[in-house]
């Protein structure tokens, strides 16, 4: 079996011209030796005004990443860890640009609005992702790739509506894959993550890891990391894979010997299915059940304490006042999931392990339910029927 090339090199032009690419790399590396030499002078003289007088947090975007001391220290560590040429890494970092809109997009609305909480609303969230245009695009995508979706279900146990739901919510079936250079987004989040974020340190470390993997993959495959475009978070392709997800879970599902999540819907379908299986998808298990409330014995605080993590058997849940409809025989743990409805009373679903698995793709119960519902709507539209998606239930 040929080893798929884990390449981000999305540009077919560059891919088909290896000699040209090679000579370009030579030019870049030659040019960068000068930058490297300048840095060496910096390090020995200790006289760099830039590096010594500008703490990174205060200088977001003020100095290029190629000249930032914090970025240089990071670069040296990455070079040592993986045996990558520091000159090559420096050349890539020198191309990275600060994107001022990215930290803004990464800051939770509660902080930017200076309010303690924002009223979340399941209905309005759902309507952002489920409309007739997206459903129509989903029907076309499903029809075009029906055999591939079937093969993915057979191999990975993940049914077509879930894969179709994910790719629809993420990119409208490839129509909106993001137009920011991944190198810029990841460098901005790795070195200028908004410090107002409640988990800034943790998130910044996460994005440094993603940038590291992104550059490592480009180095190994000989591709140009300034080429791939993606979301403001650095997610790429039809299913919006982050670099570490691409490395771990993307598969070559059309058998052409390389993984291309930008241009190969089959690779995207197989990779989404493989990601789901790796994150605990249970073939044949429903995503959620409707709850039947018993107000006399209802212990909402205990049921909601583990949040979306499945923690109760059906019998335990029933004892706490929630009977999962038609699911008392359910084999596995369940979670009572609360969905806000703006200023109205919240509603609830009983999520299974599979509901939880969808949230491993994007950590939000609203996201998971929208993915599920879109898949159901597209499935119904393919057969010309109205979708029979059940709705979350309020406490009577």
Residue 52 or 263 with smaller CB distance to Ca ion: 263
> Which residues are the active-site residues?
170
Q: Are 162 and 358 in contact (CB under 8 A)?
A: yes
Helix (H) or strand (E) holding 222: none
Beta carbon of residue 271, minimum distance to Ca ion (angstroms, whole number): 10
Residue 4 or 209 with smaller CB distance to Ca ion: 4
Residues 239-268 as x/- pattern, contact with Ca ion by CB under 5 A: -------------x-x-x-------x--x-
Q: What gap in Å lies between CA 254 and CA 272, rounded to an integer?
A: 14
Question: Which residues have C-beta within 8 Å of that of residue 36, sequence separation ≥ 6?
Answer: 86, 87, 90
Residue 9 or 374 with smaller CB distance to Ca ion: 9
Beta carbons within 10 angstroms of residue 251's beta carbon: 21
Residue number closest to Ca ion, CB atom: 252
Of 325, 387, 382, 361, give the one whose Cα is nearest residue 141.
Answer: 382
Question: Which residues have C-beta within 8 Å of that of residue 213, sequence separation ≥ 6?
Answer: 243, 244, 246, 247
Beta carbon of residue 89, minimum distance to Ca ion (angstroms, whole number): 28
Residue 141 or 288 with smaller CB distance to Ca ion: 141
Q: Are 324 and 317 in contact (CB under 8 A)?
A: yes
Using CB under 5 A as the binding rule, whether residue 274 contacts Ca ion is answered as no
The most distant pair of C-alpha atoms in the chain lies apart, rounded to whole Å, by 76
Residue 252 or 377 with smaller CB distance to Ca ion: 252
Q: What gap in Å lies between CA 314 and CA 68, rounded to an integer?
A: 55
Beta carbon of residue 268, minimum distance to Ca ion (angstroms, whole number): 10
Residue 247 or 256 with smaller CB distance to Ca ion: 256
Beta carbon of residue 252, minimum distance to Ca ion (angstroms, whole number): 4
Q: Are 70 and 191 in contact (CB under 8 A)?
A: yes
- Say if residue 40 is exposed, middle or buried (CB neighbours under 10 Å; 0-12, 13-18, 19+): exposed
Give the count of residues interacting with Ca ion (CB under 5 A).
5
3-state SS record for 312-374:
ECHHHHHHCCEEECCCCCCCCCEEEEEEEECCEEEEEEEECHHHHHHHCCCCCHHHHHHHHHH
Of 145, 154, 388, give the one whose Cα is nearest residue 283.
Answer: 154
Question: Which residues have C-beta within 8 Å of that of residue 169, sequence separation ≥ 6?
Answer: 129, 367, 370, 371, 374
Beta carbon of residue 270, minimum distance to Ca ion (angstroms, whole number): 8
Q: In the window 89-108, what residues touch Ca ion (CB under 5 A)? A: none
Q: What gap in Å lies between CA 352 and CA 332, rounded to an integer?
A: 8
Residue 170 or 267 with smaller CB distance to Ca ion: 267
Residues contributing to the site for Ca ion (CB under 5 A): 252, 254, 256, 264, 267
């Amino acid at each position: 079996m040929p080893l798929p090339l884990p390449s981000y090199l999305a540009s077919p032009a560059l891919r088909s011209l290896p000699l040209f690419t090679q000579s370009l790399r030579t030019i870049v590396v030659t040019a960068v030796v000068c930058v490297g030499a300048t840095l060496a002078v910096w390090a020995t003289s200790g006289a760099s005004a830039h590096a010594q007088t500008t703490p990174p947090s205060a200088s977001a975007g003020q100095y290029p990443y190629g000249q930032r001391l914090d970025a240089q220290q990071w670069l040296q560590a990455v070079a040592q860890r993986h045996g990558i040429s520091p000159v090559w890494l420096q050349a890539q970092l020198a191309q990275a640009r600060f994107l001022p809109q990215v930290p803004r997009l990464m800051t939770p609305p509660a902080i930017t609005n200076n309010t303690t909480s924002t009223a979340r609303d399941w209905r309005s969230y759902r309507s952002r992702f489920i409309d007739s245009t997206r459903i129509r695009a989903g029907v076309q995508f499903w029809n075009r790739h029906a055999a591939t979706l079937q093969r993915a279900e057979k191999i990975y146990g993940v049914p077509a509506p879930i894969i179709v739901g994910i790719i629809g919510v993420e990119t409208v079936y490839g129509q909106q894959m993001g137009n920011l250079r991944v190198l810029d987004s990841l460098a901005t989040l790795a070195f200028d993550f908004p410090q107002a974020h409640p988990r800034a340190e943790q998130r910044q470390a996460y994005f440094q890891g993603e940038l590291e993997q992104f550059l490592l993959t480009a180095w190994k495959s000989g591709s140009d990391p300034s080429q791939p475009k993606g979301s403001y978070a650095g997610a790429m392709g039809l299913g919006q894979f982050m670099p570490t997800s691409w490395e771990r879970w993307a598969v070559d599902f059309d058998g052409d010997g390389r993984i291309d999540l930008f241009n190969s819907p089959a690779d995207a379908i197989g990779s989404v299915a493989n990601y789901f299986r790796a994150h605990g998808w249970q073939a044949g298990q429903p995503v959620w059940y409707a709850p039947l409330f018993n107000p006399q014995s209802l212990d909402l605080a205990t049921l909601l304490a583990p949040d979306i993590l499945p923690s109760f058997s059906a019998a335990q849940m029933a004892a706490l006042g929630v009977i999962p409809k038609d699911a008392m025989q359910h084999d596995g743990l369940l979670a009572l999931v609360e969905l806000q409805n703006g200023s109205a009373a919240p509603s609830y679903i009983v999520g299974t392990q599979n509901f939880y698995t969808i949230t491993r793709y994007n950590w939000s119960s609203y996201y998971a339910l929208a993915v599920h519902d879109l898949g159901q709507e597209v499935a119904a539209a393919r057969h010309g029927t109205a979708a029979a998606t059940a709705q979350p239930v309020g406490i009577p």
